[in-house]
Structures are given as structure tokens and as C-alpha cells.
Amino acid sequence: MSLSIPNAPNSGLFKAGYQNYDAEDGAVIRNIDACRTISQTVATSLGPFGRNKIVINHLQKMILTNDAATILRELEVVHPAAKLLVMASQQQEAEMGDATNLVIVLAGELLKKAEELIRMGLNTSDIVKGYEKAQHEALRALEELEVDKVDDIRSLPALSKALRTVIAAKQCGNEDVLAELVAEAVLAVMPKNPFNFNVDNVRVVKIMGGSLEQSKVVKGMVFGREPDGSIKKASKAKVGVFSCPIDTSQTETKGTVLLKNAQEMLDFTKGEEAQIEAIIKELHDAGLRVVVAGSTVGELPMHYLNRYGILVIKVLSKFELRRLCRVVGATPLARLGAPMPDEMGSIDVVETLEIGGDRVTVFRQENDQTRTATLVLRGATQNHLEDVERAVDDGVNVVKAITRDARLVAGAGAAEMGLVERISAFADKTSGLAQYAIRKYAEAFEVVPRLLAESAGLDATEVLARLYTAHNLSGSKSSTSSTTTTTTTTADNTPTADAAAAAAASSSVSTSGVDIENDDGTGVLDAQEHGILDLMVSKSWAIKLATEAARTVLAVDQIIVARQAGGPKPPGPNPNWDED
């Protein structure tokens, strides 16, 4: 109706059914509200004491997790502005595999602070400019907050130290066990050049029962089924991988065979048996002792495979088949017949083990370096095992990030408090309206220590006050030490003075963070002393993506939504989902 009225917004421009939200309707504020809602959903899951969420997806599968990437993947977000935050989080997952929650929480907080500035009367363009300047300053300041480094990536203790905090965020209490397991699995597959490390080479097999302490690393691949034939073990064996069915080939057209008596019928089956036996004998003569089938294995070929002492296992996933080919060094064949010598792989040990009542087949290479390592995880429930698998996945992705940049910053909200201090100082030096946006940008980083304190049941305001005090004390010490060092440097320009300046700068970094266990009653601890360290490159990517997402949302002043295409309406939510 409104489109027929002259002077109506966009009258006659769009087809009927379009929805149009412009700046006068407060489109920016609406977008910010939507983004804050999605941010608040995952904010309570931040940190080691983060709450779990139960998500029941469209297939009625229940997912219990505190992993932001998994929660957002299962939620079907339709609001266009909120989708931008989800996309930023997905980009972080693809790039780093960790700190996805930080992206959403930080972007939500930046937008909350921007809303305060808009209500004060600032223009969105001034806020966007200020946030851009503040982002550059934050990334520069983050470089100064380095407190440690993974010197030797091939050292188990050094790698475990860097993984502990990442795994503790998902599996608090089990971080020591899991960090060592992940480090052991990663080092088993680490190539000569660590930059070429492939996260896909560390696999996970979940077996119900037992406890997490019974988990172990196997050098090679583990399949959750036993071999199909009667042969269950092979060592120092040649391996053939077939992606085709191991059976008699079926003709495309139906053929009719007329049999006149019993003898002809016997001869017919004998011919088929002889043909199959010839194929299996050919495999045996080529030296194959292990056959991996990517499809079905007929009963008759199975009989002859058992007779010739060949171990046979079905691997129905084409991805697993490809990985197994990488482990044994074989080429998957689409024809049934003896492979060429270069198409065959070799394996040191193939054995069937019983783990907690489940029989599994292990393909293991005995040498120190293997192409694939498998983590066999044990646990009481399927949900718990899936959550542990996500923690392992984050740990392995962080190792990939360490191969690019091994620098570490203090965790437990210490690095964020350092950024608040440095960006606020930068705001004081900035002129114009941008300084208000920069100051609010600095305040947004408070959200991390605040959420950590709240999830641990502490008084967040009190903990933040103590953190500010600790960081300001270290800041004042650093300023006095840097002035004395500068005097030395100007007096005689020697390398010793530079070294002293560097030492003073590194000692000036305060590593006071939130003590979630509240051991001494203050709620504050020294993150570096307690080994709570975050990867700098993950933090910098999270800051970049969160700021970009916030700036993009703030730069939108109009949303035009087309009418949905025709067709039947999708089924709505089940109102009785919680009833038995």
C-alpha cells in the first residue's frame, strides 16, 4: 500500500515485498543489537571455566560444547550484520584454528562501545577512523608484549608449554596430559622443514570407556574395525590399495547361460573359481601380504585371500583411503590385478588390538619418522570425547601457527590489560574526535579479563581494579628504567647500552592476569610464572578480524532485504523438542 503513496521512500523503485531499513530507523543501532546478541551467546563460553552450550541442530543431534566455532556452525544465523561476525569467526578458524571466541566477543564489545559514542553524538565515520588508527596501534603494541618464545619446535617440553593454555581453555584440568599427547603426536610427524607441517597428518580415533589418562599416541593409522578375513596380523609386508570392488566383475547387460546338466553347472562355477584364484595368486606372487579394499570384498575372493595368507581390510572412506596411501606409500588402483612395484606400499606392522572391548586395526611404521600419527582418545561419554577432540584439533592448529611465528604473550587477560594501557596512552596523544573512539577501543579489551573473572565466580570489578594497579606499577617502573637507559645510550653509543634498553623494555611488560582458581584470594596471578601463555600471532589475527568486522557493521547505514523466493515454507522448530 505504501508504494502507491507519492513521496513514500523508494516508491516505485523496488518490487512489492522488499523491506528497507535506513539510517532514520536506526539501522546501525539495530545491527549493533543483533551483533551484541550473538556476542553475548558465546561470551559466557570464553576461558577455561566457560559454560557449555547444548545446541540441538536441524537433524535433532545434540551438541554439548563451549567451542565458539562449533556453536556458531550449528546455529543458522540469518541476520546479515550478525552473519558478518560469524564469517569473521570462521575466517579465524580457517587461519589459526583457535581464538574464534575472542573474535566474536571483542567485535561485540567494540560495537557496544561504538553505540555509546553514537548516542553521545559522534558520527560513525569518526568512529570507523578512530578504530582504524587504534587497530594499527594495538598490533604495534602487541609486538612489545612478547614475554617468551618457542625456541626449539622439536623439543617436547617447549611445545607442551605453548599448547597448555590453548588446551586448558577447552579442557581445564586435563591440559597437562593432552598437551604432552598432542606434542608427542606432532613431533612424530614433523617434517625436516617445520614450515611444511600438515595438520591433517595428526588423526584422532575416539574409543568409549576408560579414562583420558589411558589415551595414547600410535605412530601410524588406527581404524575402528578389525580385518575382514581370518588373517589378523602382518609384519614387514607389501601393501596393495584397491579402490575398486574385489569381486567378479558384473557385465553391463544381462546374459543368459543355458545349462543342460549338473556337470555343466559344476564346470561353470569351477571356471569362475579358477579365474578368482588366478587373480589372488597373482597378487600373492607379486609379494602382497596386505590388501586394502575401498569397496566390497566378495565371499569367494575372501576365501582365496585367506587361503593365500593375505590380510584384507575394508576402508570405505575415500579420505581415509587417501591418508592410508600416504602412510604406506602406495598408489590406489582402480583395477583388480597385480600392482607394479612402484604402485605397492610397505608397512612394518599391521596388527589387531583390543582397546576397551573394541577391536581396532593399527597400521604402524616402526621407524622414528612417520607420515601419520593417531591419537587414541579414551573417555566415558561420546560428548566428552568429541569435546576432547576439539581441544586436540585446536592444539594441532596452534602448532601450525607456531611454525610461522613462535612468539608468546602472557595469557589470563594480561596481554589485553597491557593493550588497554598502551592504547589509552596513544589516545591521549591523538587530537580530534578520533581520540574518543580510540579510548573506547582500548576499554573494549577489558572484556576478556572481565569475562574470565565472571566465569570463575569472582568479583570482576575488584579483579579489574587490582589488574590496573599491577599494570600501572610496572608501567611507572619501566618509564624510570627507560629514561636511565636513554641517558647511558646518549653518553656513549655502545652495543651494551642497546642491550640494556632491550632488557629494560622486556622487563617492563606486566604479566599480571586473572587467577581463575583464586589461590591467594586476590584473583590476580603472574601469568608467565604459572605458564599461562598465548600465541601472539593468534591474538593479532583475532584483533584484525574483530576490528574489521566491527568497522564493516558500523559503515552500513541501510539494509535492503528482497522478498524470499517462492516455494513451500521450511518446517518451523519442533515445539515439543524437550519431551520424551
Q: What mean pLDDT do residues 458-468 have? A: 83
Least confident of 182-196, 355-369, 375-389: 355-369
pLDDT at 2: 44
- pLDDT tops 70 at residue 24: no
Question: What is the structure's pLDDT at 483?
Answer: 41
Instruction: Give me the residue label for grid cell 594497579.
Output: 469
Among the ranges given (152-161, 222-231, 462-471, 562-571), the one the predictor scored with the smallest mean pLDDT: 562-571
- The pTM assigned to this predicted structure is 0.78
* pLDDT band, very low/low/confident/very high, at 530 (cuts 50, 70, 90): confident
Q: Is the pLDDT of residue 497 over 50?
A: no
Compute how many other C-beta atoms are within 10 angstroms of the C-beta atom of residue 106: 25
- Report d(CA 239, CA 233) in Å as an integer: 13
pLDDT category at 174 given cuts 50, 70, 90 is: confident
Mean pLDDT over residues 321-344, rounded? Answer: 81
Predicted local distance difference test score (pLDDT) of residue 499: 38
H helix and E strand count, the chain: 17, 17
pLDDT at 406: 80
Measured between its terminal Cα atoms, the distance across the chain in Å is 47
Give φ, ψ of 469 to 5 degrees: -60, -50
pLDDT at res. 494 = 40
User: What percentage of residues in the chain have a pLDDT greater than 90?
Assistant: 0
What's the average model confidence in pLDDT over 167-181?
82
Lowest mean pLDDT among 198-202, 249-253, 400-404, 411-415: 249-253
What are the tens digits of pLDDT across the range 538-567?
888 888 888 888 888 888 777 666 666 666
Per-state percent for the chain, helix, strand, coil, to nearest 5: 50, 15, 35
Tens of pLDDT, residues 55-93: 887 788 888 888 788 888 888 787 888 888 888 888 888
Give me the pLDDT at residue 18, please: 62
- How far apart are the C-alpha atoms of 154 and 158, rounded to whole Å? 8
Partners of residue 221 on adjacent β-strands: 363
pLDDT confidence of residue 516: 76
Contacts of 306 (CB under 8 A, 6+ apart): 229, 230, 231
* Cα dist from 302 to 237, 275, 459, whole Å: 19, 14, 68
Q: What is the mean pLDDT of the chain?
A: 77
What is the rounded average pLDDT of the residues 34-54?
83
Distances (CA, A) of 92 to 221, 415, 541: 29, 19, 7
Sign of CA dihedral 7, 13, 15, 20: negative
Instruction: Answer positive or negative: Cα dihedral of 101, 104, 108, 111.
Output: positive
Indicate whether 508 pLDDT > 70.
no
Burial bucket for residue 69 (CB in 10 Å: 0-12, 13-18, 19+):
buried
Supply the pLDDT for residue 460. 80
Does the structure show a pLDDT above 50 at 19? yes
Q: Is the pLDDT of residue 500 over 70?
A: no
- At 177 the pLDDT is 84
Q: Give the span between the Cα atoms of 113 and 163, in whole angstroms.
A: 33
Q: What is the pLDDT of residue 491?
A: 38
Each residue's pLDDT tens digit, 206-238: 888 778 888 888 887 888 777 787 878 888 878
579 pLDDT band, cuts 50/70/90, is low
pLDDT for residue 496 is more than 60: no
Give the Å distances, CA to CA, from 428 to 129, 132, 133, 421, 442: 16, 16, 13, 11, 12
